[in-house]
Structure 1
Amino acid sequence: MTVADLDFRDIVRAGDFVVWGQACAEPVPLTERLLAQRAEFGGITCFLGIPVADTVTPEHADHIRFVGYCGSGGNRALAAAGVLDIYPGHYSTLPAYVSRANVVLVQCAPPDARGRYSLSLADDYLTAAIDSARVVVAEVNDQAPATSGSRYLTARDIDIEVRTSRPVVRSLSTPASPEVTAIGERIAAVVPDGATLQFGIGSVPEAVLGALGEHNDLGIHSGILTDAVVDLIDKGVVTNDRKTADRGVSVAALLLGSPRLFDHAHHNPAVSLRPIEYTHDPARLAAQHRFVAINSAIEVDLTGQVNAEVAGGRYVGAVGGGAEFLRGAARSAGGVPIVALPATAGARTRIVGRLSGPVSTARSDAGVVVTEYGVADLRGTTLSERRERLLAIAHPDHREALRAKEFPC
């Protein structure tokens, strides 16, 4: 079947919950077709992950209710327009949430000699959605990489197959500012050789990876893989040889990058895409020797609480897997749980007396906080000790005003 032959009026029912692959894994021809026919369904709900393609716009909310776990990328416009409902759960709970899916849209690589369709660019929460859906529509894209993992589809799993040939949507990284570069260098200094890394999305984690070029025998167990990881593999920095589990293999839930990353992962057994139940499993994370979690934040208050979701009254981030990875790193032998952020956003301090948004990570899970001005290790510290260490990494222009603020209990 071609996209032109696909009629969602025969597939989607009023009230259905529709899920599709996120980021580079989005089956764009399928989602575009679905949105074009949205007035025919009588009202459906669509779950959005991280958007890379500009497929969904606020205008599409006239007949569709949109739910997402994050406010990044194109979701930011939906949130600003008031048409994005937020699921505020930990990333590990997404499989249970999407298991209510009625219709799932996925992008696959063509079947191999054994008739197996690779999920190509993402497994993450798709496995849970596929296993529960009434209908699975698969875009089989002959330009999608065939990746290894724990899950493949067969013809029995696919209800409707649509053949395409198109370049995979790519995600472009943004150049790092001097402040972000400095943060990357500070974090690299506390990452030990032989560590297994988890990193989030954005310029700060990318800067950290860019600063690790002199390290040895690093491993990857993360939510994402990016082009920066390929750079470290090519340099011999990432070998995965000292991982406790999955030795020799970079493990992630999805690929987020350019054709360089996709080509690297194609038919490469040293890259494995796994479901969230595997990548975010607390016991598995804690068991990794020297597990280092590197995640960004919007604000950190003087007690160590983290807001990773709301800035200026708008939902721009996510609960995501930050707290889960930080806990895993805290329990890992030799692990380091890191939250990183620039000290300021414009004229505003990001080390704050009180958060202006929700508590995404509790102060009881506080680990190491890094800005361009230094490293504040909050592990095993009292509230007054945390206050002093966080003041020391705030922007110098804001330290006096922060010190004068009433200290939250």
Structure 2
Amino acid sequence: MDWKEIYESRKCTAEEAVQRIKNGDRVVLAHCAAEPIALVDAMVAGAENYKNVTVSQMVTLGKSEYTKPEYKEHFRFEGWFVSASTRNSLAEGHGQFVPVYFHEVPSYIRKGIFPVDVAMIMVSTPDRNGFCSVGVSCDFTMQAVKSAKVVLAEINDQVPVVYGETFVHISEIDAFVETSHPLPEMKLPNIGEAEIAIGKYCASLIEDGSTLQLGIGAIPDAVLSQLKDKKHLGIHSEMISDGVVDLYEAGVIDGSQKSIDPGKIIVTFLMGTKKLYDFVANNPIVEMKPVDYVNNPVTIAQCSKMVCINSCLQIDFMGQVVSDTIGTKQFSGVGGQVDFVRGAAMSTDGKGKSIMAMPSVVMKKDGTLISKIVPFIEHGSAVTTNRQDVDYVITEYGIAEMKGKTLHDRARALIKIAHPEFREGLKEEFEKRFNAQF
């Protein structure tokens, strides 16, 4: 059958498409900005038709109404990451979180640890050969499509065609819903003096020809803004932000000295503004690959002069990093932080670096400051990156090197880059903790 005939025979409304979901199914949603909102909304609207349907995903930019308590008999959230809209379901007791390294999610799907009954995805319009691009989410989405019993797709003519391992043929999709709407966008962050200072310290550790991994937010953008005098930078990152576009267009990023995938910007998913989505569309410089390639520490170890930059919520005197919990509350997830930290440490050229970059304090709603550098991590918190893995820690007050340092020297280095308001108290805690003078 010609692909156009398949397309016409499987085209339907969102309400008709989600009727393929059965009681007890696990529904996996495409990641982040690729979440198929029309299908999700139709599923929630038909909640009375379902019982004990598990919904799994990582980062979501959607409303996540299936996590509301009134739907708990119909839907059960079981996330591999927690976002603002899914967080309450965990606190209310009807949502669950599964700790997992990002690079392992596809293998969990293949092995049936995360079985997929229904994959709901958002793709571009088909090309002349009947292939659609999954657009801004390759990561685990491609494996979900391959493993799912049923694949439902929202075909959105505003999804960019991104090259790499992103193409799904019409014949692999069981039902199509045609839509047209912009992709969710992330607001550009406010970059303050602290972020600028952190950016400068991070830039001091980045050599010409380095391969970079950065996330999204004020600190990654501040780092990128300080790299304009660098040369021949490359990108191998789970995601990128708009700042990468600026550096590419300025000629700073060209990937010419990358040891693997030379000349290519390698990512596994995308989240940004329309500027980023327009940049990646039909751009042969950008390639998206599954997360079990991009985030695999073995792959990362092969990247020349690898520098990975991540953030955290809290770090203690020993160098234990907390990035995804606040006490007993699950705040986000492990994501790719440990993947890149370990990959950089394993660098085959011996030049890999991993950086934990964070403002020294966080401000509460009442204006009270809380130090991110603490003697002990908060009760109930989970260690995201352990003390053996931590390399550099950077705040607006400087750089602390961790590797090869004693516990005493680690604590001293961290206290020196803590906020001045907390240093004396931290010194007192140091002397009580270690029975030694600061």
> Tell me, what secondary structure is at the counterpart of 2:145?
helix
1:312, distance to aligned residue in structure 2 (A): 5.1
In the alignment, structure 1 residue 384 sits paired with structure 2 residue 395: no
Letter in 1 for 2:421: D
1:61-210 matches, cutoff 5 A: 61-99=72-110, 100-210=115-225
- AA aligned to 2:138 is D
Match of 2:87, SS state, is helix
Inter-CA distance 5–310: structure 2 relative to 1 (3 Å threshold)? closer
Normalised by the size of structure 1, how large is the TM-score?
A: 0.95
With over 3 angstroms needed to count, the CA separation of the structure-2 counterparts of 1:210 and 1:69, relative to structure 1, is farther
Worse-matched range after superposition: 72-81 or 247-256: 72-81
Q: Is 66-75 or 254-263 further displaced after alignment?
A: 66-75
Q: CA deviation at 1:7?
A: 4.3
d(CA) in 2 for partners of 1:399, 1:380? 23
Q: Does the aligned pair in 1 maintain the 2:215–2:240 contact within 8 Å?
A: no
* Equivalent residue for 1:21, pick from 30, 37, 40: 30
Cα separation, partners in 2 of 1:314 and 1:210, compared to 1, 3 Å: farther
Q: CA deviation at 1:358?
A: 0.9
Please name the residue that 2:426 is paired with.
402
**Alpha-carbon distance, 1:112 to partner:** 1.7
Tell me, in whole angstroms, the C-alpha distance in 2 between the residues paired with 1:289 and 1:402.
38
Counterpart of 1:225 (choices 240, 247, 252) is 240
Deviation larger for 302-311 or 51-60: 51-60
Residue from 266, 287, 290 that aligns with 1:275:
290
Secondary structure of the 1:256 match is coil
Q: Distance in 2 between matches of 1:123 and 1:235?
A: 27
- 1:49 corresponds, among 55, 58, 64, to 58
Which stretch has the larger CA shift, 308-317 or 363-372? 308-317
How far apart are the structure 2 equivalents of 1:245 and 1:4?
A: 42
Quick one: which of 321, 345, 357 aligns to 1:340? 357
Q: Distance in 2 between matches of 1:83 and 1:312?
A: 19
Cα distance change on mapping 1:77 and 1:231 into 2, 3 Å: farther
Question: Which among 300, 310, 326 is matched to residue 311 of structure 1?
Answer: 326
Whole-angstrom distance in 1 between the partners of 2:51 and 2:64? 21
State which of 247, 264, 269 in structure 1 corresponds to 2:262: 247
Cα contact 2:28–2:116 (8 A) shared by 1 = yes
Comparing 74-83 with 227-236, greater Cα deviation is found at 74-83
SS of residue paired to 2:27:
strand
One-letter amino acid of the counterpart of residue 190, structure 1: L
- Cα distance in 2 for residues equivalent to 1:136 and 1:4: 13
Q: Is the 8 A contact 1:354 1:408 kept in 2?
A: no
Range that drifts further, 67-76 or 36-45? 67-76
How many pairs are equivalent? Answer: 408
Point out the more displaced range, 33-42 or 294-303: 33-42
Counterpart residue identity of residue 229, structure 1: V
Distance 1:139 1:408, change over 3 A: farther
Distance (Å, rounded) in 2 between the aligned partners of 1:171 and 1:77: 22
Aligned match of 2:377: 355
Q: 1:388 to 1:5 in 2, by over 3 A?
A: closer
The equivalent position to 2:417 in structure 1, one of 379, 393, 405, is 393
Distance in 2 separating the partners of 1:224 and 1:94: 16
Deviations 1:370-401 (A, max 9, x none): 01111001122222211111111111221222
- Please tell me whether the aligned partners of residues 52 and 171 of structure 1 are also in contact (alpha carbons under 8 angstroms): no
CA distance, structure 2, for counterparts of residue 238 and residue 383 of structure 1: 38
Matched residue type, 1:192:
E
Question: Conserved in 2, the CA contact under 8 Å of 1:293 and 1:325?
Answer: yes
392 and 68 in structure 1: CA distance in 2 versus 1, 3 angstrom threshold: same
- Looking at structure 2, the residues matched to 203 and 312 of structure 1 have their Cα atoms a distance apart, in angstroms, of 24
Identity %: 33
2:160, 2:406 → 1: CA distance? 49
Deviation of 1:408 (Å): 7.6
How far apart, in 1, do the equivalents of 2:216 and 2:331 lie?
A: 13
Deviations 1:134-187 (A, max 9, x none): 100111111110110124111221111111122122222321232222212211
- Per the alignment, residue 34 of structure 1 pairs with 43
Note the C-alpha offset of 1:317: 2.5
1:296, 1:340 within 8 Å by CA — same for their partners in 2?
A: yes
**Structure showing greater Rg:** 2
Q: What SS class does the counterpart of residue 292 from structure 1 fall into?
A: strand
Aligned position for 1:6: 16
* CA deviation after TM superposition for structure 1 residue 55, in Å: 4.1
Q: Which amino acid aligns with 1:255?
A: L
Which blocks of at least 5 consecutive residues in structure 2 are unaligned? 1-10, 364-368
Check whether the contact 1:353–1:408 (CA below 8 A) recurs between aligned residues: no
- Measured after TM superposition, the shift of residue 213 of structure 1 is 2.1
Stretch of structure 1 that moved more, 170-179 or 103-112: 170-179
**Contact 2:51 2:73 (8 Å CA) reproduced:** no
With over 3 angstroms needed to count, the CA separation of the structure-2 counterparts of 1:58 and 1:204, relative to structure 1, is farther
Structure-2 separation of matches of 1:343 and 1:83: 35
Partner of 2:4: none
Q: Identify the residue that residue 280 of structure 2 maps to in structure 1.
A: 265
Q: Hey, what's the Cα distance between the residues in 1 that align with 2:166 and 2:370?
A: 46
Question: Is there any run of 5+ residues in structure 1 with no aligned partner, and where?
Answer: none
* More off after superposition, 89-98 vs 107-116: 89-98
With over 3 angstroms needed to count, the CA separation of the structure-2 counterparts of 1:73 and 1:192, relative to structure 1, is farther
Instruction: Give the deviation of 1:302 after TM superposition.
Output: 0.9
